[in-house]
Amino acid sequence: MKPTMQTYIHNSTDVLRANLSRGAELTKAFVEAYRQAPEGEILLIASGSSYNSCVCARRWMEKVLQQRVWIVTPFTFVHYESSLAGVGLCAVVSQSGCSTNAIEALRLIRSLGRPAIGITGNPNSDFETEADQVIDWGVGEEKVGYVTQGVVSLILYLWMAALQIAKETGRLSKEQAETYASELQSAVEIHGEAVIRSEAWVENNYALVTSMHQAYVIGAGASYGTALEGALKIGETIGIPTSAYESEEYLHGPNLQLAPDYTVFIIDPKDETSPRMEAIAEATRQVTERTVLLSLDCDDPHPTTFSLGRQLDEALTPFVFLPLFQMIAWRGAEDLHRWGKHPLFAKFKEKIAYKTESYYQHSQQESQHDSEIEIIS
């Protein structure tokens, strides 16, 4: 049977467990690249879901490494912010390894006298010829365009790499390293619980999921990365206008658009910001009952509230909340038959390229192969 987006959501926890068990081996190339780079801050160049994954991972990386991690899109890097002053390790991240702007960034890095390092989920992609070093983050195979397994496996990869660097460079005591390793183990297991609970939540809130017309996703800290990815997933699958905002930025204009038909997801990571997030949720419910509070642990009786009843470092909470947005995107698009795009989108693709030719050739081959399997079946 052809795998679907749902297949990869369910498979993700097993992939995370497997990758965590071989973390030192999997991140060896990243750690070595870090050691060979000049002293300085880490710069990750990424777009789309890869960018969102980096934002999700940054808080815990910075906490463990005790240094700044910067994230920029390839287009911005190439055209506006290409200075590498103060930058140590610089790497371009792309799951497909076929994004045209990612390849432009690799070429620019090389021209600036740095090794062009590409981190990808597809080491046999264009990165193989365009990068000086290709690092595989261990996503495995994900044959759908709306990536989920790739998102969480990249986040874990960056977390593991940060921990390994901190251990090897003496920034952590043995006890600290063991504590952080235990946190990652807990986060992976909680991810598995979150997948199951997310599926149940979607079933219990099916009317809301299948009647969204416009949505906001609100978060801060690591949860801002979750909000970005949640908005992207809902928008690109269900096909409705969906925007992500940092919690206080939501109160500076976007809130003025609220109406009873708006769906608003508010992520509460149960840290010092919790009272504010709960207040924002309560205020939003005065306008729309389609307000969803996502919390690690709360006693909010509202039927749309999503809570696991667990404790976890705020910086690791993307593993708690991402599965819910992935499940909403999958179920909404599947049951509403939203996978197809408007007929005019074909003309859009004719006018502008954002993936390499090899990507489209591979996609065509996969489609032909799947059709042949269906005929045989």
- In sequence order, which residues have a C-beta less than 8 Å from that of residue 98 and are 6 or more positions away? 122, 125, 126, 127, 355, 356, 358, 359
What value does the mean pLDDT of the chain take?
93
Q: What backbone phi and psi angles, to 5 degrees, belong to 37? A: -75, 160
Residues 20 and 138 in one domain: yes
pLDDT tens-digit series, residues 15-25? 999 999 999 99
Residue 225 lies in a domain: yes
8 A C-beta contact, residue 230 and residue 353: no
Residues 168 and 292 in one domain: no
Rounded to an integer, what distance in angstroms lies between the CA atom of residue 317 and that of residue 313? 7
Residues 372 and 295 in one domain: no
DSSP 204-236: HTHHHHTT-SSEEEEE-THHHHHHHHHHHHHHH
Question: pLDDT at residue 369 above 80?
Answer: no
Range of the domain at 137: 5-178
Confidence of residue 372 (pLDDT cuts 50, 70, 90): very low
Residues 206 and 300 in one domain: yes
Confidence of residue 250 (pLDDT cuts 50, 70, 90): very high
Number of H helices, E strands in the chain: 16, 10
Rounded to an integer, what distance in angstroms lies between the CA atom of residue 92 and that of residue 44? 6
8 A C-beta contact, residue 290 and residue 208: yes
Residue 187 lies in a domain: no
Q: CATH no. for residue 249?
A: 3.40.50.10490
pLDDT at 301: 86
Total tally of structural domains belonging to the chain: 3
User: How far is residue 315 from each of residues 23, 116, 217, 223, 353, measured CA to CA in Å?
Assistant: 19, 29, 18, 8, 35
Residues 160 and 45 in one domain: yes
* In 202-337, beta strands by DSSP E: 215-219, 242-246, 263-268, 291-295, 306-307
Residues 110 and 232 in one domain: no
pLDDT tens-digit series, residues 154-166? 999 999 999 999 9
Residue with tokens 């079946």: 377
Count CB-CB contacts under 10 A for residue 297.
Answer: 13
pLDDT at 363: 58
Rounded to an integer, what distance in angstroms lies between the CA atom of residue 255 and that of residue 289? 14
pLDDT at 206: 98
